[in-house]
Amino acid sequence: MSMSLIRAPYLDPSADALLAGTASPRKALFLDRDGVININHGYVHTPANTDWVPGIFELVADAQARGHACIVVTNQAGIGRGMYDEAAFLAYTAWMHAQFAARGTPLLATYWCPHHPEEGLGDYRVACECRKPRPGMLLDAAARFDVDMRASWMIGDKATDLEAAAAAGVEQRHLLQDDAGIADLNRLFAAMAGR
């Protein structure tokens, strides 16, 4: 299937400055959203339903201090299932980016896949290249931002996150299994990045 189904990422308003601040080819920290950035309450798409995973802002700050561009890659089948629309998702994403920026830890971009191969409605019911475990979103980010995938990281909360990263050539792939795990990931990231 053509990668033309991949939606343009939401680019942070500070994207140009963030890109100027990292050498090319650049390292990236890829982050799943639900379960890694925010607690997964199921199809989160409003600020009122958002609780941050403890330690996520510190992790992003550390990654940025070590020269990593922070990029979110998220399956959003709630769009395809008709639970919320693309406009609501993009408004929420802009709010989320603003929350990170307000803490001095801006995200570069959010890639998102609205499709589902069995439960998507209408045009959203498609087996696409962007829905994880396929690597389309990560490969698009690598091409768009000149990312060195071997020097990059992926943090997810599902095996499909790690499968997508492996297929895209990301060397460091870590599964966050509970909220307390961010502290351990911070230590691991600091140790690995310091080599």
- Going from the C-alpha of 8 to that of each of 37, 74, 88, 144, the distances in angstroms are 21, 13, 16, 10
Q: Which residues are catalytic?
A: 32, 34
Round to whole Å and give the CA distance between 27 and 147: 6
Closest C-alpha to 69, from 28, 19, 39: 28
- Distance, in Å, from the CA atom of 122 to the CA atom of 154, rounded to the nearest integer, reads 31
Q: Is residue 172 a contact partner of residue 192, using CB atoms and an 8 Å limit?
A: yes
Residue 154 main-chain phi, psi, to 5 deg: -130, 130
**177 is written with which tokens?**
């299994």
Identify the helix (H) or strand (E) that includes residue 80: helix 77-80
Rg (Cα) of the chain, in Å, rounded? 15
